[in-house]
Structure 1
Amino acid sequence: MHDVIVIGAGLAGLRCAGLLSARGLDVVVLDAADAVGGRQRTDIVDGFRLDRGFQVLNPAYPALRRSVDLTTLALGSFPVGVRVRTIDGMAELRHPVRHPLSIIASLRSGLVSGRDAVALARWAGPALVHPLSRLARNDVTVREGWDAAGLRGPLRTAVLEPFLAGVLAERGGETSNAFARLLVRYFALGRPGLPAQGIAAVPEQLAAHARAAGAGIRLGAGAERLSAFPGGIRVDLTDGDSVRAARVVVAVGPDAVADLTGLARPATNGLQTWWFAATDPPTASALLTVDGRGRGQGPVVNTVVMTHTVPSYAPAGRHLIAATCLLPHGSDPAEESDVRRHLGEIWGADVSAWELIRRDDIDDALPAQRAPLRAPRSPRYAERLYIAGDHRDTASINGALVSGERAARAILTDAGSSARAR
């Protein structure tokens, strides 16, 4: 019998397993998939490196910095800014501190007024100095937060709203204001990017750390049922096998956690990503591009030439372009014809010759982080049973890792260890 079974080889589960194994516990990780990673997966398709949906990795995340060696990931960093399609053409807004020479161009774009700049500072400023617990006091929706700050002009409607729609996977402004400000803080402090080998390099490194510490990882081992017995829990697998342990951590995604526990299915937001290949890129810019002409123009919320940031995502002489759409539950996915039309308008280019490599429809891309923001949920769920995942903390890579750390600390405490997971 093992000390701990971790169900789910995503970020939360692997982080938890690595910490527990490093403290001498006998740990096995079970996952139904053929590779580790959960929602952080990368596939090689016709020589292109495709993540499961458009993803970014922010090195400003504290839990990421203490969990993996960022240097070995060989991160390619996106420029800190955004490119905006307006009715008059294309405008670029860059981080004013890192790119001070861009300030004049930003002011001339018509997207930033003095009043809006002050309102943005009023809204985002507290996130730079206060912890999330302070930001979450009297939390409201991000829409209400912007209204209260007086942020109403084109900086909001043409830049922030379309940009955050792709980050939060919703465009109604229902997300927690505190959470949105937290994300903006991380964007301000870090330079989001991607590993040269794809987002899967992160869970692969976590898995290597866990294995080196002594954890076992069984892939193709789907958990079907949990049943308690005196002194432990048995996990029945879909192949008829069973595994026993003194304690079990359920670290599956929000789409599957209800199947193994009595927990209500967490609310989620969906995203759809289209991957196109082209010989000639539509721009030399590596900035993420959004449509600032207002809603109703088309389904694409953001698009970017991936290979300007991570050339390893495509074979030599080719370019990879990502286009992301929202995928609301109960609605029809965007059609390729609408996506191509909208991309042509955004880029101002003929995209008809672009080759569609793959479309990723991810119904449960992110846990919905609605207002008011709740405090992180305890990992303790039942006797000897724990739950980890970003749906228990914040909807982010950082939230998943922190949740795994929290579950490990709880188990070490409950198992009678005086040491704490680091």
Structure 2
Amino acid sequence: MIPSATSLERSDPLLPAIPSGKASPSPAVPSPELPPSADVVVVGAGLAGLACAKHLTDAGVDVTVVEASDGVGGRVRSDVVDGFRVDRGFQLINPAYPELHKVLDVAALGLQPFDAGVAVHRGGRVAAVRDPRRHPAGVVEALRFPLGGVKDKAAVARWVARVLSAGDLKGPDTGWAEALDEAGVHGDLRWSVIEPFLAGVLGEVDGTTSRRFVDLVVRSFLRETPGLPAGGVQAVPEALAAQLRPGSVVLGTEVRHLGLAPRSIVLETTAGGVNAQAVVVATDGGAAAHLVPRSAVPDAHALSAFWYVTPSSPAPASRERLLHLDGDRSGPVVNTAVVSAVAPSYVPAGDRRGLVAALLLGSDTSAGTEARVRAQLGRVYGAATSGWELIAVHDLPHALPVLEPPFDGPRPVEVGDGIFVTGDHRENPSQQGALVAGRRAADGVLNRLGMGRRRAG
């Protein structure tokens, strides 16, 4: 659930007409602020780059962060559209990620949590099920949940118990579909609940992502309830950037080439050249491969998202704070949420309208796809959608790095000559992975500069 781009500002004849000037992005920092030299230059102000810069700054290193776009966050960005806050893509902040607590004050984000469970539309009916450990009524809901028989529910319970335990991260790794087969998880519960839920988290429904990683992700969802920051998901990178030296983040500046000088690395940018003792490329995999061709980067899964303003909440109060799944899998949407019910801060004060987000696999944001999305959401929520206003469409071609088995641990961050490559593609496709990868890159740089006590992975 990680975004990379918005289609609000592009002219795509396949998209429904969206009036220009609605989105309010962060202002760009003038490119002349790029200094002629720095101890370390971090290319990219996403979570990994900002985390790396924070750790280096804390160690007393002179760091400059260069970002091509108009704001920090990389794929973790938010906009205000007609007073509504929309995250670029649909993504959540999971307080179970330990690295979050190491780099910022999670409580200060004002997380607005979802209810721990899902609402599933199947055959014209909607059934809700919540985690009974956090919702006492969840036991009754689970027993009455119409999907899956006793045997299927028992198999899921055993699978969940295994995931919550220490897990077998050293045994043979497989794709998560094969792991569910081995656990005896089949039938309606798998088809209508588990597979659609994991599709939205992993960016694929083929079951090809590493079981080891999926176990870790599911465990994090079971241990804590994800939520949305009061200021949108961009509050996370902004909190990281606030810990850096003022003026050290230069926006609106693209790095075009890295070259080696006798005692430094030379970066050619749209704002001129800058020399550094070390460079950390903290971009997505595609951009990293362009700047550092010798770095091996995985492919990425694409996602897309549609945001609607609705006359009111389309879900009853009893389940409007749940993630909604289409158990019939009757269209392109893998999950949807009434964001306004979970995060009132995303809606203008006093506005009683609803805000609904829908997440899809792939990057097809055509008018035909939007029509299918609207029809599917009407079935899921049991509501007429003709009056819903489409306010944002996000095309996310590099949303999540592919992580196929075997998942044997993080990839190296150092590629030689004082150049490092970091990002979730070096660790695992999650916010936790991006933050850890940033720390590992900082450790590597400190070692190279003779300032580090820890070894980089």
TM-score computed with the length of structure 2 as normaliser: 0.87
What is residue 112 of structure 2 aligned with on the other side? 76
Deviation at 1:100, TM superposition (A): 3.0
Deviation at 1:231, TM superposition (A): 2.1
1:106 aligns with 2:137: no
* 1:221 aligned counterpart, secondary structure: coil
Aligned positions of 1:94-243 closer than 5 A: 94-130=130-166, 134-135=168-169, 137-211=171-245, 216-239=248-271, 241-243=272-274
Inter-partner Cα distance in structure 2 for 1:143 and 1:178: 12
Q: What letter matches 2:279 in structure 1?
A: V
Q: What letter matches 2:265 in structure 1?
A: I
Tell me if structure 2 keeps the 8 A contact 1:9–1:38.
Answer: yes
Q: What letter matches 2:346 in structure 1?
A: Y
What is residue 267 of structure 1 aligned with on the other side? 299
What is residue 17 of structure 1 aligned with on the other side? 53
Aligned positions of 1:20-419 closer than 5 A: 20-87=56-123, 89-130=125-166, 134-135=168-169, 137-211=171-245, 216-239=248-271, 241-262=272-293, 263-283=295-315, 284=317, 285-293=320-328, 295=329, 297-315=330-348, 316-327=351-362, 335-419=369-453
* 2:376 aligned counterpart, secondary structure: helix
Inter-partner Cα distance in structure 1 for 2:160 and 2:268: 48
Tell me if structure 2 keeps the 8 A contact 1:298–1:339.
Answer: yes
Deviation at 1:414, TM superposition (A): 1.9
Q: What letter matches 2:284 in structure 1?
A: G
Inter-partner Cα distance in structure 2 for 1:80 and 1:45: 28
Tell me if structure 2 keeps the 8 A contact 1:54–1:324.
Answer: yes
Inter-partner Cα distance in structure 2 for 1:401 and 1:268: 18
Q: What letter matches 2:339 in structure 1?
A: M
Inter-partner Cα distance in structure 1 for 2:229 and 2:48: 19
Deviations 1:71-108 (A, max 9, x none): 11111001110000011511011112112322222222
Tell me if structure 1 keeps the 8 A contact 2:297–2:425.
Answer: no
Percent identity between the two aligned chains? 44
- Tell me: CA distance 1:359–1:332, structure 2 relative to 1, closer, same or farther (3 Å): closer
* 1:209 aligned counterpart, secondary structure: coil
Inter-partner Cα distance in structure 1 for 2:157 and 2:262: 57
Inter-partner Cα distance in structure 1 for 2:432 and 2:170: 17
Q: What letter matches 2:289 in structure 1?
A: A
Deviates most, 251-260 or 187-196: 251-260
Inter-partner Cα distance in structure 1 for 2:44 and 2:408: 24
Q: What letter matches 2:273 in structure 1?
A: S
Deviation at 1:373, TM superposition (A): 1.5
Can you give the 5+ residue segments of structure 2 that lack an aligned partner in the other structure?
Answer: 1-36
Deviation at 1:334, TM superposition (A): 5.9
* 1:362 aligned counterpart, secondary structure: strand
Q: What letter matches 2:181 in structure 1?
A: D
1:3 aligns with 2:35: no
- Tell me: CA distance 1:222–1:418, structure 2 relative to 1, closer, same or farther (3 Å): closer
Can you give the 5+ residue segments of structure 1 that lack an aligned partner in the other structure?
Answer: none
Deviations 1:199-219 (A, max 9, x none): 00000000001226xx71111
Inter-partner Cα distance in structure 2 for 1:146 and 1:353: 41
Inter-partner Cα distance in structure 2 for 1:165 and 1:153: 17
TM-score computed with the length of structure 1 as normaliser: 0.94
Tell me if structure 1 keeps the 8 A contact 2:66–2:249.
Answer: yes
Deviation at 1:176, TM superposition (A): 1.1
- Tell me: CA distance 1:339–1:178, structure 2 relative to 1, closer, same or farther (3 Å): same
* 1:376 aligned counterpart, secondary structure: coil
Deviation at 1:229, TM superposition (A): 1.3
Tell me if structure 2 keeps the 8 A contact 1:255–1:265.
Answer: yes
Inter-partner Cα distance in structure 1 for 2:287 and 2:199: 25
